[in-house]
Structure 1
Amino acid sequence: MALTSDDVSRIAQLARLELSGTEQAEMLTQLNDFFAIVEKMRAVDTSGVEPLYTPLSAIEDVTLRLREDTVTETNHREANMANAPAQDGGLFLVPKVIE
């Protein structure tokens, strides 16, 4: 997938970037190089390859250190709501900002 200078201009406009002609040319080269790498990666057959949850698991057996899923903090709702200027049913009430 090769981008054109028009594509880079459109991307820059969407990102609200002002690129000079030189910067636009450099960006075009960098983006096309990136997409060339992506195309090479897509060409590799990865069927049957297990996904890695860490790169280390490719070279050694890694066991995950999981903790118990237990509640460690107590309920502080009353203390947290004490300074709220407006609340309803334990929820903060805020003024409407979007019409």
Structure 2
Amino acid sequence: MKITDETITYVAALAKLELSDDEKDRAKTDLENIISYMDTMNEIDTSNVEPMSHAFPMKNVFREDVVTNGDERDNLLSNAPVKKDGCFIVPKTVE
């Protein structure tokens, strides 16, 4: 696919970019190379390749969401210089 100057100007406007003439020429070459590579990728026979969501055979690798620290309010508030009704009291910062 041939990328035109109008295409580069249009894409730059969509991306809100101001490109110099040299940058437009480089972008044009880069986009042509990308599209050429995509054409090469489309030639690969993938009919026997099973669709996958990840390149490695991974299942859920996240740990279970289990509460481990429990109710330690009194322990945490023991470090507070000033406290009231189970909360920290801090100086007012906004008038």
Q: TM-score range by the shorter chain?
A: 0.5 to 0.7
Could you list the runs of 5+ residues in structure 2 that have no partner in the other structure?
68-95
Cα RMSD, aligned residues only? 2.4
Which residue does the alignment assign to 1:51? Answer: 51
The alignment's TM-score, normalised by the length of structure 1, stands at 0.56
> 1 CA distance for matches of 2:58 and 2:10?
46
The alignment's TM-score, normalised by the length of structure 2, stands at 0.58
Quote the sequence identity (%).
Answer: 28
Correspondence for 1:64 among 59, 62, 71: 59
Could you list the runs of 5+ residues in structure 1 that have no partner in the other structure?
57-61, 74-99
The total of aligned residue pairs comes to: 67
Q: How far 1:6 sits from its partner (Å)?
A: 1.1
Alignment of 1:1-99 (within 5 A): 1-56=1-56, 62-65=57-60
Q: How far 1:13 sits from its partner (Å)?
A: 1.1
Higher Rg of the two aligned structures: 2
